[in-house]
């Protein structure tokens, strides 16, 4: 990262520097992509991205306690299928932070999951970001948020964004993030969560196989729309190059997008690699009406409303 993301005098990031003795609770949001341009495949197999990340108020929570080893427990829908071992991103994040700081990787971590799994909402990445922030606090490593974002980048493309939060431009493979200041406007979203998740690598592979040209150009129009704070203008500028691949793998998502538009959504798009569909609403009341309509249409497993932008992983 070339420029610091976090200024030292930013209150949001003012945290005690001493190791915590009691439990540390960290809350971390889900993300959607307001704009996702997928470029060519790089020699390392990743795709060059230009994306606008947006953190929304749908949260997972990690509690970190002192322990003699590194352990992970979980609660929440679908967590029974997730690994609790060394391949779990939470464990990998704690070990990466320990390796970087020379600290013993000892903590008892508990994850309370609400962000749907394999949904295109970066839930796994969010948990890794939360683990970094929680262990940093528990161990009193005193790393800066930029240092944490640097470790995050080694673990996954969108983890640095989940440390940052808000609305941000992502480049490289998505790990290079710079904040976009949107002047405090709250956007209202409705999410339609599918029964079954989609694998991100499979969606990227399908994107390549379809050989589709990128439809999302540079995000200039979107950035201007965010500044205008007019949802009708923003609606015209949401774009996701992975949507065609997600629809190819799950044709029924077309019906979900249409159900939202029929119910009056200002815009509908697949979130990241899917299969969650995201709808833009006028305001909180419109979002609630839209959510009720979508629920009644029975087009998906669950419907959620969420406001964005919200901060990234934070100690509570």
- The Cα 187–Cα 183 span in angstroms is 12
Is 198 annotated in some ligand binding site? no
Which residue numbers are catalytic?
31, 158
Both tokens of 182, joined, read 């949107």
Instruction: Kindly indicate which of the ranges 19-27, 46-54, 131-139, 248-256 contains the residues binding ligand C5P, using the contact rule CB under 6 A.
Output: 46-54
Residue 280 pairs in a beta bridge with 189, 267
Residue 202 or 228 with smaller CB distance to ligand C5P:
202
Decide if residue 101 touches ligand C5P (CB under 6 A): no
Burial class of 80 by CB neighbour count within 10 A (0 to 12, 13 to 18, 19+): exposed
- The Cα 276–Cα 30 span in angstroms is 12
Reported residue count of the chain is 316
Of the candidates 133, 274, 271, 135, which has an alpha carbon nearest to the alpha carbon of residue 200? 274
Interface of this chain with ligand C5P, residues 183 to 222, rule: CB under 6 A: 200-201, 204
Burial class of 42 by CB neighbour count within 10 A (0 to 12, 13 to 18, 19+): exposed
Min separation Cβ 178 and ligand C5P, Å: 16
Taking the CB of residue 298, how many other CB atoms lie within 10 A of it? 8
Interface of this chain with ligand C5P, residues 149 to 168, rule: CB under 6 A: 156-158
Is 76 annotated in some ligand binding site? no
Min separation Cβ 88 and ligand C5P, Å: 13
Is 183 annotated in some ligand binding site? no
Give the distance, in angstroms, between the CA of residue 113 and the centroid of all CA atoms in the same chain. Answer: 14
Q: Which of 35, 37, 47, 237 binds ligand C5P (CB under 6 A)?
A: 47
Residue 50 or 141 with smaller CB distance to ligand C5P:
50
Decide if residue 46 touches ligand C5P (CB under 6 A): yes
Binding residues for ATP: 116-126
Interface with ligand C5P by CB under 6 A: which residues?
46-47, 49, 156-158, 173-174, 200-201, 204
């Amino acid at each position: 990262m070339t420029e610091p993301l976090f200024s030292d005098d930013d209150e949001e990031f003012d945290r005690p520097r001493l190791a915590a003795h009691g439990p540390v609770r960290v809350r971390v949001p889900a993300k959607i992509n307001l704009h996702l341009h997928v470029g060519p495949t790089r020699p390392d197999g990743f795709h060059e991205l230009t994306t606008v990340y947006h953190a929304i108020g749908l949260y997972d929570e990690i509690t970190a306690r002192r322990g003699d080893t590194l352990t992970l427990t979980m609660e929440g829908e679908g967590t029974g299928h997730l690994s609790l071992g060394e391949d779990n991103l939470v464990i990998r994040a704690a070990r990466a932070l320990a390796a970087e700081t020379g600290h013993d990787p000892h903590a008892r971590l508990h994850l309370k999951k609400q962000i749907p799994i394999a949904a295109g909402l970066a839930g796994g990445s969010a948990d890794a970001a939360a683990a970094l922030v929680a262990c940093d606090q528990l161990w009193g490593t005193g790393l800066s948020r930029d240092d944490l974002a640097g470790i995050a980048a080694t673990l996954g493309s969108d983890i640095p964004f989940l440390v940052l939060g808000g609305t941000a431009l992502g480049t490289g493979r998505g790990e290079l993030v710079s904040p976009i200041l949107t002047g405090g406007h709250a956007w209202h979203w409705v999410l339609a969560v599918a029964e079954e998740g989609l694998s991100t690598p499979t969606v990227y592979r399908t994107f390549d196989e379809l050989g589709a040209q990128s439809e999302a150009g540079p995000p200039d129009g979107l950035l201007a729309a965010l500044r205008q704070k007019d949802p009708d203008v923003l609606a015209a500028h949401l774009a996701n190059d992975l949507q065609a691949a997600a629809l190819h793998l799950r044709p029924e998502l077309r019906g979900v997008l249409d159900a939202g538009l029929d119910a009056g959504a200002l815009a509908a798009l697949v979130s990241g690699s899917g299969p969650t569909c995201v709808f833009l609403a006028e305001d909180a009341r419109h979002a609630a009406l839209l959510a009720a309509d979508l629920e009644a249409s029975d087009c998906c497993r669950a419907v959620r409303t969420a406001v964005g932008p919200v901060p990234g992983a934070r100690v509570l």
